[in-house]
Copies of this chain bind each other. A is one copy, B any other.
Amino acid sequence: MSVQLDAQGNLRHLLTTEGLPRELLTRILDTAGSFSGVIGKSVKKVPLLRGRTIINLFFEPSTRTRTTFELAAQRLSADVLNIDVASSSTSKGESLLDMLRNLEAMQCDAFVVRHADSGAAEFIARHAAPGVAVVNAGDGRHAHPTQALLDAFTIRHEKGALEPLTIAIVGDILHSRVARSQIHALRGLGAGEIRAIAPRTLQPRGIEQLGVRLYEDMDAGLEGADVVIMLRLQRERMRGALLPSEGEFFSRYGLTEQRLERTHPQAIVMHPGPVNRGVELDPRVADGPRSVILQQVTNGIAVRMAVMSMVLGGQGEAAPASIEEVAG
Q: Which chain A residues have a beta carbon within 8 Å of chain B's beta carbons? A: 39-45, 50-53, 63-64, 67-68, 70-71, 74-75, 79, 81, 83, 94-95, 98-99, 101-109, 273-275, 277, 294-295, 297-298, 300-301, 313, 326-328
The CA of A275 and the CA of B98, in the complex, are separated in Å by: 8
The CA of A152 and the CA of B328, in the complex, are separated in Å by: 38
Report B-chain residues with C-beta under 8 Å of the C-beta of A297: 102, 105-106
The CA of A328 and the CA of B50, in the complex, are separated in Å by: 11
The CA of A295 and the CA of B109, in the complex, are separated in Å by: 17
The CA of A58 and the CA of B313, in the complex, are separated in Å by: 36
The CA of A225 and the CA of B165, in the complex, are separated in Å by: 72
Report B-chain residues with C-beta under 8 Å of the C-beta of A70: 81
The CA of A287 and the CA of B246, in the complex, are separated in Å by: 52
* B39 with A43: CB separation less than 8 A: no
* A106 with B68: CB separation less than 8 A: yes
Answer whether A83 and B67 are a contact pair too, CB < 8 Å, given A43-B52, A50-B45, A274-B98: yes
Could you tell me the distance in whole angstroms from the C-beta of A24 to the nearest C-beta in chain B? 23
Could you tell me the distance in whole angstroms from the C-beta of A58 to the nearest C-beta in chain B? 12
Could you tell me the distance in whole angstroms from the C-beta of A313 to the nearest C-beta in chain B? 7
Could you tell me the distance in whole angstroms from the C-beta of A111 to the nearest C-beta in chain B? 13
* A102 with B275: CB separation less than 8 A: no
Q: Identify which of B41, B44, B313 contacts A42 (C-beta below 8 A).
A: B313
Could you tell me the distance in whole angstroms from the C-beta of A325 to the nearest C-beta in chain B? 12
Top 4 A-B residue pairs of the complex, sorted by shortest distance between their CB atoms:
A43-B51, A105-B297, A45-B51, A74-B79
The CA of A107 and the CA of B42, in the complex, are separated in Å by: 9
Q: Identify which of B45, B108, B298 contacts A105 (C-beta below 8 A).
A: B298
Q: Identify which of B75, B99, B102, B277 contacts A94 (C-beta below 8 A).
A: B277
* B301 with A106: CB separation less than 8 A: yes
Q: Identify which of B51, B67, B83, B94 contacts A106 (C-beta below 8 A).
A: B67
Could you tell me the distance in whole angstroms from the C-beta of A133 to the nearest C-beta in chain B? 12
* B40 with A44: CB separation less than 8 A: no
Q: Identify which of B83, B102, B301 contacts A107 (C-beta below 8 A).
A: B301
Could you tell me the distance in whole angstroms from the C-beta of A317 to the nearest C-beta in chain B? 16
* B39 with A44: CB separation less than 8 A: no
* B42 with A298: CB separation less than 8 A: no
